[in-house]
Structure 1
């Protein structure tokens, strides 16, 4: 299992390789990219700056353990922090299972829980030099 918060470039094929065994019939993946817009913000997004609470990696690992607790799926998930330009990979999740339904369901659950539970924040940097924080309440 991979679960990490890192400032290094994310490698999707390495995540797939980390979860795949000869018993698997399915690997579901999610790759989250930095896009050039946010529907809730006026202006063009040129970059994101992600930051994480010191407990973020521990929270991510706990989510991954919970998803794999039944033993039917294997998980690799990483979220990037630091400055990311448009088109760069912010999150990679790979889930392997004997069957596609379990892999799809676990991958979706994993990504949604990461977004909802892991203490990560992003600052959207706009083309005009302004910025806005997302995930700060």
Structure 2
């Protein structure tokens, strides 16, 4: 039987809504939609690029707890309320995933709070 465990970031949203930051299921790691909140301070920057960078740090922390790195990401989904905010994030995203080249999708949609300008969801495979 494969291992299944939940990983928490300590975000208040996980407790309030009832989800995990990530779920490890065997060799698969599924990271929930992750925004640019700094979970230590529960604050979020106004700048979309700063939110993108913080969201990636948050994803990296969840992956590390699962025994993975960004190099193990096979699928990424970007969610932004404003499509014009996506291109300014490209250099940050390329720095994180340029060598990995996971399958990727960008969606324009509303996020849970108006302050949220960037969200990322990833799937990884533990090796």
Alignment TM-score, normalising by the size of structure 2: 0.30
Query: Is the radius of gyration larger for structure 1 or structure 2?
Result: 1
Which structure carries more helix by proportion? Answer: 2
Alignment TM-score, normalising by the size of structure 1: 0.28
Which has the higher relative contact order, 1 or 2, with Cα contacts under 8 A spaced 6 or more apart? 1
Which structure carries more strand by proportion? Answer: 1
